[in-house]
Amino acid sequence: MREYPQYKKVLLCTDFSENSDYAFEFAYGIAKRDEGLLYILHVLPDNPHQAFAERYIGKEDLEKIRKSIGEDLDNKYREHYVEKIENEIKFEIVTKSGRGDKEILKFAKKENVDIIVMGTHGKTGIEHVFFGSVAEKVIRHSTLPVFIIPCKKKIERF
């Protein structure tokens, strides 16, 4: 009988899209099968206007905005993932700020992750040229396995 790799630390990268929710099923399955730890990571893009906002919006208002964003993220994590996780699965919710691919790879290295699982939106043509693909950048620079889950809608077309 063949031995398969054990993935004790599984990193799911999410943008809370339908594609990320689909990728969750795979990440969850791997973590459950291998009795591993499931990290659920969302990266907030940096705001290029942060300094401008801080200059013109009062500290109290900025704090209200940050609190609101935090509450919204908590709700999204709960609705999309936490409510679907069974008790025997260990998991951690992580939110980072910055450029998606860089933060994913930095976190994976820091936490000694065994596999990265993420969905792709399947952008093509000019949309792909202008927006690129976080998944593609992660694949290009990762030193560990990356499990890319294609857009579910594209799979269903075939």
pLDDT tens digits, residue range 43-58?
Answer: 998 877 666 677 777 7
Q: Write down the architecture of domain 9-157 according to CATH.
A: 3-Layer(aba) Sandwich (3.40)
Band (129; pLDDT cuts 50, 70, 90): very low
Contact of 12 with 25, CB cutoff 8 Å: no
**pLDDT digit string, tens, across residues 59-89:** 788 788 889 989 999 999 999 999 999 888 9
- pTM equals 0.85
pLDDT of residue 155: 52
